[in-house]
Amino acid sequence: MTTETPQQSPATRTEVPGIQPGASGEAQLEVVGVDKTYQARRGEVHALSNVNLSIGRGEFISLVGRSGCGKTTLLRILAGLLPPTSGTVTADGQSIWRGGKRNDEAFEHFGLVFQDANLFPWYTVADNVSLPLKLRGMGKRARRARATELCELVGLPGFENAYPRELSGGMRQRAAIARALSYDPTILLMDEPFGALDALTRDKMNLELQSIHAQAGATVVFVTHSISEAVFLADRVVLLTPRPGRIRSITPVPLARPRSLETETSVEFQTIVRELRHELDEE
Ligand SMILES: Nc1ncnc2c1ncn2[C@@H]1O[C@H](COP(=O)(O)OP(=O)(O)OP(=O)(O)O)[C@@H](O)[C@H]1O
Ligand SMILES: [Mg+2]
């Protein structure tokens, strides 16, 4: 199988690196012809090649692929932290990069969560969670109320006054998610946020992320190394090939929501996971 030979399978999987669904005009995030070459000391590294992806409003996309295939690179480009070498990215129709410069207007509604929670140790949970609101000039009272609401939402009720050192790894990640949600982002970008957690905590976080996604209605791009986590959470799973990263396939996950841990025992779930693992093994 190559990306050059499109196959129309009954499951509507796409193996063409074209612009994918989302009825036209409904896409919230559009990636068109994105290429990235790093200028490293030891020479050039071609990290991404001709990535095209159209992400619908409220859609949950999981991004998977071998280590070093360019997942973080793509997420950083989407997040406005790294300019693409060529190609365009638009959010709500606005280009997020203009001639190598970040278009700050397009970023008002982005939330970011990385592998490391990155909380300030000298701030309480409430202060960490509401820091973006402080930076946006919101008053103390309103910030506090919002922080309480968010702690509730991510399953940290009563921890507003705790310090990060008093929290477990999973709780810190929840606080990081709450912070990312603080200003009602319409797009949430997450890079292996649960990678460092044990399996049970991770299952719990996946269930919580699912309900947060349902409640907040944000569009999510979620990078993970776990195929089952990717399938459990996603509306579509995007698989990148190794360097340079290209979209190898896009797999819709037509499982009913809300999904429970039982979903993972269904034949449908396991078939999708098996097919994706098989594809990864071929890389
Ligand atoms: N700042 C940089 N300078 C040079 N090369 C880089 C830089 N950042 C990433 N790369 C290279 O680009 C490629 C893609 O890296 P990236 O971090 O996007 O991969 P990834 O898919 O996120 O990997 P992982 O699953 O291990 O996190 C790798 O070969 C990496 O070595
Ligand atoms: Mg990475």
List, for residues 187-225, the tens digit of each pLDDT value. Answer: 999 999 988 888 888 898 899 899 889 988 889 999 999
Given this model, what pLDDT does residue 10 score?
Answer: 40
CATH number for region 27-109+186-281:
3.40.50.300
Nearest CA to ligand 1 atom 25: 67
User: What is the phi/psi pair of residue 33, to 5°?
Assistant: 55, 40
Question: 103, 94 in Cβ contact below 8 A?
Answer: yes
Q: What share of residues in the chain are helix, strand, coil (percent, to 5)? A: 35, 25, 40
Question: 255, 263 in Cβ contact below 8 A?
Answer: yes
Task: Compute, in angstroms, the gap from residue 183 CA to the centroid of ligand 1.
Answer: 29
Proximal ligand: closest to the CA of 225: 1
**Helix, strand, or coil (residue 124):** coil
User: What is the phi/psi pair of residue 236, to 5°?
Assistant: -145, 140
Proximal ligand: closest to the CA of 63: 1
Task: Compute, in angstroms, the gap from residue 48 CA to the centroid of ligand 2.
Answer: 13
What pLDDT digit, counting tens, does each position of 149-195 carry? 999 888 899 999 999 999 999 899 999 999 988 888 889 999 999 88
Tokens 């996946």, located at residue:
206
Pairing of strands 97-98, 101-102: antiparallel
> What is the distance between the alpha carbons of residues 56 and 61, in angstroms, rounded to a whole number?
9
Given this model, what pLDDT does residue 17 score?
Answer: 45
Region class of 14: left (phi > 0), else alpha (psi between -120 and 50), else beta: beta
Question: 175, 208 in Cβ contact below 8 A?
Answer: no
> What is the distance between the alpha carbons of residues 172 and 262, in angstroms, rounded to a whole number?
27
Supply the pTM of this predicted model.
0.88
> What is the distance between the alpha carbons of residues 229 and 276, in angstroms, rounded to a whole number?
12
Which of 36, 38, 77, 85 has most ligand 1 atoms within 8 Å of CB, for mutation?
38
Q: Which residues contact 161 (CB under 8 A, 6 or more apart)?
A: 124, 125, 126
pLDDT at residue 62 tops 60: yes
Task: Compute, in angstroms, the gap from residue 125 CA to the centroid of ligand 1.
Answer: 31
**Helix, strand, or coil (residue 32):** strand
pLDDT at residue 148 tops 90: yes
**CA distances for 5 relative to 8, 96, 249, angstroms:** 10, 31, 11
Given this model, what pLDDT does residue 13 score?
Answer: 61
Counting from 1 in the atom list of ligand 1, the atom nearest the Cα of 65 is 21
Nearest CA to ligand 1 atom 29: 68
Q: What is the mean pLDDT of residues 90-104?
A: 83
Task: Compute, in angstroms, the gap from residue 71 CA to the centroid of ligand 1.
Answer: 8
pLDDT bin (cut points 50, 70, 90) of residue 116 is: confident
